[in-house]
Structure 1
Amino acid sequence: MRLRLPEERPTEPPTGYKIAHPVLSQDGTRAGFTGVSLGGALPYGVLADASCVYGLRHPAPSRRCDCGFHCVHDRTTAEALLCTAEHRAAALLEVTVLGRYIRFERGFRYARQRVRTATAGPCACGTVAAALADAGWGRPGWQALAPSCAGCLRGRTSVSLAGFARLAGQGLRVVAGQGVSVAVAGLAAGDEPGVPELTAEAALLQARLDWFQAQLARLGERGPGGGRKG
């Protein structure tokens, strides 16, 4: 006799949690995420459909395969994954589980998802993040980003938390860790940014200005001919 999994018909889509690395397209016009394990080579957007990472033609998720999006039920469980060295720069995502899903003891494997909130951890120096900056690695066509404070940007390719959310679209909300919200996306046409958005943008601009001033000062020491004065 063939066993069948029990079917669920929830009144509203389940909520899950996962971690992923924020990514920015090579031309700087799109933003998304890339996973930390299976399927990590395939960046996805805020609203995305899963496909079999092995190239098989069955719909995801399949009971005979481990394809599909993955998440856990509990936020604390997902946060624990951020303790490992290779995942320190990842973001914590709150997602809505859509479409077909398979429920496990600790989470879901499912066909479609919407990322509702992305929480960026602190900068490597420990300061609350004001932006997402070049992490030094990426995928073909995509540059991985890591949380950074204004003082640690130092001319790297970067985007404010609010800017990342706008590029990602679909009403994504992006916040800084430690409970301090510095950027919210999904502004409707005609809406004006509030104090948190403007503060984050100002910090990013100030960091870039400081970097340019430092470069100009260095060039001034060398003199117009490229050599040092004196």
Structure 2
Amino acid sequence: MRLRLPEERPAKPPTGYKIAHPVLSHDGTRAAFTGVSLGGALPYGVLAEASCVYGLRHRPPHRRCDCGFHSVHDRAVAEALLCMAEHRAAVLLEVLVLGRYLRFERGFRSARQRVRTATVGPCGCGAAAVALADAGWGRPNWRALAPSCAGCLRGRTSLSLAAFARRAGDGLRVVAGPPAGPVSGGEPDLGVPELIAEAALLQARLDWLQSRLARLDRA
């Protein structure tokens, strides 16, 4: 006799969190997301239905398969994944878990999902992002995008956060997260020796610049 887990019938869809890479279609008319691990080759829209990544003919999420949209209960758990080098350019998604789903200790695996909010992290330089720009890689027919500040766009294909939301449609909200900063959240606490060392470094840099300018004047 096989025991069956109780079915949940919540009054409203559960909320989950995950990370993904924003992508833009080759013709620039559609915006979507692609996962960071399983199913990463299959971009999905704001409102999407899962299919088995192995091509099996069962309805996701199947108990004996890994198919379905994965998400976690805790926002902090999803944010922690953004610390990994390969995920630094990903965005944080808040999703509604729709349709049939399996609940696990840390999250869900669902048949459908709706992305409500995408939070874009800082640019690679540390400044707050104002756009999503060509990340230099992609999938067939899809160009991956990464957070970028105005100073780092450098003519790359890009979309403002609002423009990405419009192309994605279905009520998606795209917001910018805070710029990168010290872990403590404030200015580093420097003592007198550290400040003297900083001043010496700046003076050495100024001396080097003055010597270069003097050479240019003599040329």
Q: TM-score normalised by the shorter chain: which range applies?
A: 0.7 to 0.9
**1 CA distance for matches of 2:23 and 2:9?**
34
- Aligned residues: percent identity? 84
Deviation per CA, 1:179-216: give whole Å up to 9, x if none. 9xxxxxxxxxxxxxxxxxxxxxxxxxxxxxxxxxxxxx
**1 CA distance for matches of 2:5 and 2:21?**
33
Describe how 1:124-135 pairs up with structure 2 within 5 A: 124-135=124-135
**1 CA distance for matches of 2:104 and 2:178?**
29
Which residue is equivalent to 1:204?
none
SS of alignment partner, residue 10 of structure 1: coil
Which residue is equivalent to 2:192?
none
SS of alignment partner, residue 78 of structure 1: helix
What one-letter code is carried by the residue in structure 2 that aligns with 1:112?
A: R
**2 CA distance for matches of 1:36 and 1:59?**
22
**2 CA distance for matches of 1:121 and 1:5?**
38
Which residue is equivalent to 1:171?
171
What one-letter code is carried by the residue in structure 1 that aligns with 2:70?
A: H
Deviation per CA, 1:15-34: give whole Å up to 9, x if none. 00000000000000000000
SS of alignment partner, residue 112 of structure 2: strand
**2 CA distance for matches of 1:52 and 1:89?**
26
TM-score (norm 2): 0.81
Which residue is equivalent to 1:9?
9
**1 CA distance for matches of 2:93 and 2:167?**
17
Which residue is equivalent to 2:66?
66
Q: CA deviation at 1:82?
A: 0.1
Which residue is equivalent to 1:121?
121
Describe how 1:146-165 pairs up with structure 2 within 5 A: 146-165=146-165
SS of alignment partner, residue 166 of structure 1: helix
Is residue 97 from structure 1 mapped to residue 114 from structure 2 by the alignment? no
What one-letter code is carried by the residue in structure 1 that aligns with 2:90?
A: A
Which residue is equivalent to 1:54?
54
Return 5+ residue gaps in structure 2 as ranges: 180-219
RMSD after superposition: 0.8
Which residue is equivalent to 2:41?
41
TM-score (norm 1): 0.77
**1 CA distance for matches of 2:16 and 2:23?**
21
**1 CA distance for matches of 2:93 and 2:64?**
27
SS of alignment partner, residue 56 of structure 1: coil
SS of alignment partner, residue 126 of structure 1: coil
**1 CA distance for matches of 2:24 and 2:163?**
11
**1 CA distance for matches of 2:45 and 2:7?**
28
SS of alignment partner, residue 125 of structure 2: coil
Runs of 4+ in 1 over 6 A off after TM superposition: none
SS of alignment partner, residue 23 of structure 2: strand
Whichever of the two has the greater Rg, that structure is: 2
**2 CA distance for matches of 1:5 and 1:80?**
30
SS of alignment partner, residue 174 of structure 1: strand
What one-letter code is carried by the residue in structure 1 that aligns with 2:3?
A: L
Deviation per CA, 1:6-59: give whole Å up to 9, x if none. 111101000000000000000000000000010000000000000000000100
SS of alignment partner, residue 36 of structure 1: coil
What one-letter code is carried by the residue in structure 1 that aligns with 2:127?
A: T
**1 CA distance for matches of 2:142 and 2:6?**
40
Q: Larger relative CO (CA 8 A, sep 6+): 1 or 2?
A: 2
**2 CA distance for matches of 1:159 and 1:66?**
33
